[in-house]
Structure 1
């Protein structure tokens, strides 16, 4: 078995990052943190990358932080978790959210703790029906991190967010889809085919336009209506000057599929 903590596969127009510590349910240690951040940064820097898929090896997506290096001896000095968050999790989540192309979490099994919230930070989450999302933090006396206290109320609503955070009870993929927390739950054996089809669609699409859509939706979290209208005006102006808009209009008038160039010339 490959002991590299992160596997990266370059496909036509997109990349697949696989968390690769299956014996630990892909939980994070320092090596995996560093490799994952580097892989995301490499994807961001690649003008030919039009989408990013994140998944896990084996039977889990990611169980969050590997707690084997967090055991404090009786009377010993506890670890400073603020340092871990500031050094690893926060930079990763900020970079992931800011990527200029669509991100897809292919949740193939348990997504717990930071693993759940990394998945929820992606633009689109598709999960196997056997997968579960667990805000496991309260069970060890912690609060949700990796954006959990931000994303849960927005995705699940205030009442459900509090219950998920305070109980740490597992949430099935199908219930998460019913609640609107994720895009969809699919049969386990259909997961990667579904994700691949979507990634290929994004890779062939107007990726500059996708970036502007993401910017607008992110800003809407804090903008008032009038401010958002102004932002739509400005971003639409940028979108209208891209080669993809001109091609999209020509293709529509000529009743043919568009041939977008995306970030390669956007």
Structure 2
């Protein structure tokens, strides 16, 4: 039996592919696969990560049998474990890109919101539809959507349970880039590879500064900025890029090493 989630590498780019046909549902096996693969990525971080899906849909969300089988006495520990998956993904030091070519519901959408960047087709549909089982998103999607689009939009999307197209979420600032359906996976791969071949330490620094801002506002980001900038100054990539800029101008083609 094939694993529901595959981890492959294309040089500096790691690729996680949901592949549990026909709907890429989140059941215990899928969650366990996410835990295992994220542990591997945390131990050996790539220079960028692309999350994508195989098949007609990205994911139809959580297998409803999970709700039927969960003992209410175990619910807090169960959902704390799933939330930890979101947190580990979010904490990876490299740029992370979620590519949504079609329907992306509940747990998959929540993991997309934990990534740094989301790319999609304009017609891809997204939803946090837990209201259909009288539930609320429990992998951190509500608060991460509020970070991106504001609390009113987060309440709207979750409380209505409606589906929203990629083009609409791009207007909200939730989706970062739209690609045509024809050639979508190639375009998403190229987008992620551009990050993977970039100045990796500088990208990690950007993530650290944004996280500090989200945790404590401008003062918290200011507190870590000088030491973070000093770390970047010491990298080979920074020194090489400065030298190339001075010699060749802003359109220089420095090959970054990730260090």
TM-score by structure 2 length?
A: 0.92
Map of 1:13 onto structure 2: 12
In the TM superposition, residue 210 of structure 1 has moved relative to its aligned partner by 0.7
Map of 1:63 onto structure 2: 60
Provide closer, same or farther for how the CA distance between residues 94 and 35 of structure 1 changes in structure 2, counting only shifts above 3 A: same
Q: In the alignment, does 2:79 pair up with 1:81?
A: no
Mapping for residues 72-151 of structure 1, pairs under 5 Å: 78=72, 80-87=74-81, 89-151=82-144
Q: Any idea what SS the aligned residue of 1:252 has? A: helix
In structure 2, C-alpha distance between the alignment counterparts of 1:174 and 1:46, rounded to whole Å: 35
Do the aligned residues in 1 keep the contact of 2:98 with 2:112 (CA within 8 Å)?
A: yes
In structure 2, C-alpha distance between the alignment counterparts of 1:162 and 1:91, rounded to whole Å: 23
Map of 1:28 onto structure 2: 26
Do the aligned residues in 1 keep the contact of 2:16 with 2:51 (CA within 8 Å)?
A: yes
Per-residue CA distance 1:102-161 (angstroms, 9 max, x = gap): 111011221111111111111110012231111111121111221122112121222211
In structure 2, C-alpha distance between the alignment counterparts of 1:244 and 1:12, rounded to whole Å: 18
Q: In the alignment, does 2:158 pair up with 1:165?
A: yes
Do the aligned residues in 2 keep the contact of 1:133 with 1:170 (CA within 8 Å)?
A: yes
- For these two proteins, the number of residue pairs brought into alignment is 256
In structure 2, C-alpha distance between the alignment counterparts of 1:156 and 1:79, rounded to whole Å: 34
Do the aligned residues in 2 keep the contact of 1:174 with 1:184 (CA within 8 Å)?
A: no
Moved more, 10-19 or 28-37: 28-37
Q: In the alignment, does 2:221 pair up with 1:228?
A: yes
Provide closer, same or farther for how the CA distance between residues 236 and 67 of structure 1 changes in structure 2, counting only shifts above 3 A: same
Q: Any idea what SS the aligned residue of 1:59 has? A: coil
In the TM superposition, residue 30 of structure 1 has moved relative to its aligned partner by 1.6
Map of 1:260 onto structure 2: 256
Match of 1:54 among 51, 55, 78: 51
Provide closer, same or farther for how the CA distance between residues 68 and 79 of structure 1 changes in structure 2, counting only shifts above 3 A: farther
Per-residue CA distance 1:226-251 (angstroms, 9 max, x = gap): 33223211211111111111111112
Match of 1:43 among 28, 41, 44: 41
In structure 1, C-alpha distance between the alignment counterparts of 2:83 and 2:175, rounded to whole Å: 22
